[in-house]
Amino acid sequence: MSSKIYVGNLPYSVTNDSLESNFAEFGTVTSAKIMMDRDSGRSKGFGFVEMASADASQAAIQALNGMSVDGRSIVVNLAKPREEGSRSGGGREFRASNRSDVGYGNGGFGGGRY
């Protein structure tokens, strides 16, 4: 069982240290990271916690999921593994068009095909 935990719907006031201290009461925390917006430097409202054991992870999930933090009901569950090769934009290659007869030099006005 994975020991990496997703923590969502966090208030923006939560820091890495406060996240770690809340999970530490259930076992050894190996890392606690709030995800930050690259442009603004603000919290994105979610983070990840890694626990030393699966038992500690499960205990933390059971105790903290749905708990109210600064008026927000947080979501705590096992983190899903990242999909290989996923990226923004749906992972599709950019093309102006999928049609072979559209584009430069392929016909149309000034395309050279009459």
Residues 12-26 pLDDT 10s: 999 999 999 999 999
Please work out, in degrees rounded to the nearest 5, the angle formed at the alpha carbon of residue 35 by the alpha carbons of 75 and 55: 50
Take residue 106 and report the two structure tokens written for it.
């392929």
The band of 91, judged by pLDDT with boundaries at 50, 70 and 90, is low
Q: What are phi and psi of 6, to 5 degrees?
A: -90, 135
pLDDT digits (tens, 9 = 90+) for 26-54: 999 999 999 999 999 999 999 999 999 99
Specify which residues 51 forms β-bridges with: 29
CA distance 114 to 99: 18
Q: Within 10 Å of residue 62's Cβ, how many Cβ atoms?
A: 10
Name which residue leads in pLDDT, 78 or 114. 78
CA distance 73 to 27: 22
> 85 in the Ramachandran plot: left (φ > 0), alpha (ψ -120 to 50) or beta?
left
Closest CA to 43 of 81, 82, 14, 86: 14
Summarize the confidence of residues 2-12 as an average pLDDT: 91
Q: Name the average pLDDT for the chain.
A: 84
pLDDT of amino acid 83: 80
